[in-house]
Structure 1
Amino acid sequence: MRASRLVSLLLLLQSRDRMTARELAEALEVSVRTIYQDVDSLGAAGVPVYGEPGHDGGFRLLDGYRTRLTGLTAEEAGALFLTGLPAAAAQLGLAGATATAQLKLMAALPAGLRERAGRVADRFHVDPPSWYFDAERTPHLAAVADATWNQHPLEIRYLRWARPHEITRVVHPHGVVLKAGNWYLVAGSDGRFRTYRISRMLDVTVLPGTFERAGGFDLAGHWASYLEQFDRRRHRETAVVRLSRRGLDRLPHLLEPAVVAARKTTAGPDAAGWTEIEIPIESVEAAVPELLKFGADAEVVAPETLRAEVVRTLHAMNRTYGLGRE
């Protein structure tokens, strides 16, 4: 375990140029004290690693030093062909580069690892988009991705839900995210970050010059925070619903994870096995079709406006099917 960690520490320093003890400790999931001990061990073994004091200091390798400890294990070689990147790369305009990179990697692997990597590619396939939805048209994705990579400002003409629906903005693209088959741009403008669905971009112009990325910006961390805030903003109301045993079992399969995670049991199960829960909802209009998925296994208790809308919908369905006629 320690030998593997020492190799990882060495490769981190080789790839990052300079890292603090705390950054190394977080990356390797050990204490700062352990990092200092590991650095001492590398130095004793003849590795030219040294520390630079000061606010911008840290550990680094002597300029020009390169380790050859870059061989892949069998599991690592297989994992590289389980990334699910080819389809996404094609949308980004990188299909040719990705295919060439995979061919070069396969050719460079020893025979045993090459055979294992090939088996992984033959037996496992990652397909990110949701069921029953066609991929969105994203004609501007390649331009957005290129501007993000090269730090070029963008002028985008965007169709949004709020009024005015069509807006034009100059933005600084900081990251591109693929979520459930849909592409999003995270970009800064007017001192804040906003998220734009790339399929709703009507026009994109790459502007001359470059911009400075916001210091400390972490795309993965920002996206996780955005999703949490998005669910909080969207689910502004609550509903109280009674569910049968069957309805309670089906709850995780019929409602989205954020709603299931936020549910609160308020009463039950009663003598008939029904449980009363409180769930967040976006609006009465959005909640009706979601709750009708449960059929007779759910009863809306509150708010009264939601209960009345469900009843109105059921009466309308009765008329459609002729159940209210002689």
Structure 2
Amino acid sequence: MRADRLLALLLLLQNRGRMTAGELAAELEVSVRTVYRDVEALAASGVPVTADRGPDGGYRLMDGYRTRLTGLTDAEADALFLTGAPGPARDLGLGAVLTTAQLKLQAALPAELADRTRRVQDRFHLDAPAWFRDADPVDHLAPVARAVWEQRVLRVHYRRWRGEVHRELHPLGLVLKGGIWYLVAAAVGAATAAAAGSAGVGSAGAASPESAARTYRVSRLLAVEVADETFERPAGFDLAAHWTETARRLTAALHQQTARLRLSPEARRLLPMQFGAAGARALATAGPPDTDGWAEVDLAVESTAVAVGDLLRLGPGAVVLGPPDLREAVAAAATALARRYA
């Protein structure tokens, strides 16, 4: 690992010019003292590293010096596909590998193209997690990722909504959705369940290669074991296509009914923030506002039990007109709330 780090340090100085010990330590995810030792090691090996003192000082390479040690390793080539997602790359244990791969790529580019890549990095940043929500703890993500990479059988202890199960899985891929990691895997053999019910978020149709694949939330893995035996991936399995179909099926299953609402101007402004794409679609087909600014919309909602809580978040600016059972459930909840605060 130290050889990789020394190369990364050398490429940082070559690509970015003068850098302080603190800046190098942050990039390499090591201590400043480690940077001091690594710089001394580079100098001892014949690399012309110069230390400039003072408030604007730092380390730099002697003018005109360039290295051509820019060949990518297999791991670095794999990591380049995560260049737009440095946070997830770190979660997968590829943060340092990705940094080295990017530096090697920049070092191999002509100066003009290298400058363009740096401008892109300076101007665009991906932050995957949603606002106001901490990321899930993913203690077992690294071994799960290794099982996916190496096509190894994975034995897991998984917590689901109605109990815990033990599963033996063929891990087919990892998906990061809204800052949450999901494992797409096919369960094999018999399962020992503490409670009945499905473990996955969704599964594909029986006719597709991924028909046995289900979705497991990585943060709910209580224990994992990467087995020695390997498995063959289903012929024609497409992770992106499987996830798209799973998401479509889940959305269709969740939106079980349509609520007819009468909304104030303020509630209409809240609708897309509270209900996302479903709220935006409802607004797009809303009826004309009346003289007080209230308008009627049709909103796709989940089951009555879930919809009641969601609709109450719109406050007194929302009136449920139908269906009758949903209107009655919201009225009962509002009445119970009023009694609590009476």
* TM-score, L = length of structure 2: 0.63
- 2:176 matched to which residue of 1? 178
Q: Quick one: distance in 1 between partners of 2:261 and 2:314?
A: 11
Which whole-Å deviations, capped at 9, do the CAs of 1:243-262 have from their partners, x for residues lacking one? Answer: 23443344222213145447
Amino acid at match of 2:241: G
Q: Quick one: distance in 1 between partners of 2:284 and 2:114?
A: 51
Q: How does 1:1-326 map to 2 (within 5 A)?
A: 83-161=83-161, 163=162, 165-190=163-188, 192-258=212-278, 260-261=280-281, 269=289, 272-322=292-342
Amino acid at match of 1:181: G
Query: Once the 2 structures are TM-superposed, how far is the Cα of residue 214 of structure 1 from its aligned partner?
Result: 0.6
Q: Quick one: distance in 1 between partners of 2:226 and 2:265?
A: 56
Which whole-Å deviations, capped at 9, do the CAs of 1:174-207 have from their partners, x for residues lacking one? Answer: 1110111010111112561100000001111111
- 1:41 matched to which residue of 2? none
Query: Once the 2 structures are TM-superposed, how far is the Cα of residue 156 of structure 1 from its aligned partner?
Result: 1.2
Equivalent pair of 1:82/1:126 in contact (CA under 8 Å): no
**Which consecutive unaligned segments of at least 5 residues does structure 1 have?**
1-79
Q: 1:169 to 1:213 in 2, by over 3 A?
A: same
Amino acid at match of 1:309: A
Which whole-Å deviations, capped at 9, do the CAs of 1:67-110 have from their partners, x for residues lacking one? Answer: xxxxxxxxxxxxx8994322111100111211111121122222
Q: Quick one: distance in 1 between partners of 2:89 and 2:261?
A: 44
Equivalent pair of 2:160/2:220 in contact (CA under 8 Å): yes
Equivalent pair of 1:129/1:180 in contact (CA under 8 Å): yes
Q: Quick one: distance in 2 between partners of 1:209 and 1:237?
A: 46
- 1:60 matched to which residue of 2? none
Count residues with an aligned counterpart.
241
Q: 1:258 to 1:152 in 2, by over 3 A?
A: farther
Equivalent pair of 2:83/2:98 in contact (CA under 8 Å): no
**Which consecutive unaligned segments of at least 5 residues does structure 2 have?**
1-79, 189-210
Aligned to 1:173, what secondary structure does the other structure show? Answer: strand
Which whole-Å deviations, capped at 9, do the CAs of 1:36-88 have from their partners, x for residues lacking one? Answer: xxxxxxxxxxxxxxxxxxxxxxxxxxxxxxxxxxxxxxxxxxxx899432211
Amino acid at match of 2:327: R
Q: 1:88 to 1:245 in 2, by over 3 A?
A: same
Percent identity over the alignment? 47
Equivalent pair of 2:278/2:299 in contact (CA under 8 Å): no
Which whole-Å deviations, capped at 9, do the CAs of 1:12-43 have from their partners, x for residues lacking one? Answer: xxxxxxxxxxxxxxxxxxxxxxxxxxxxxxxx
Q: Quick one: distance in 2 between partners of 1:266 and 1:108?
A: 55
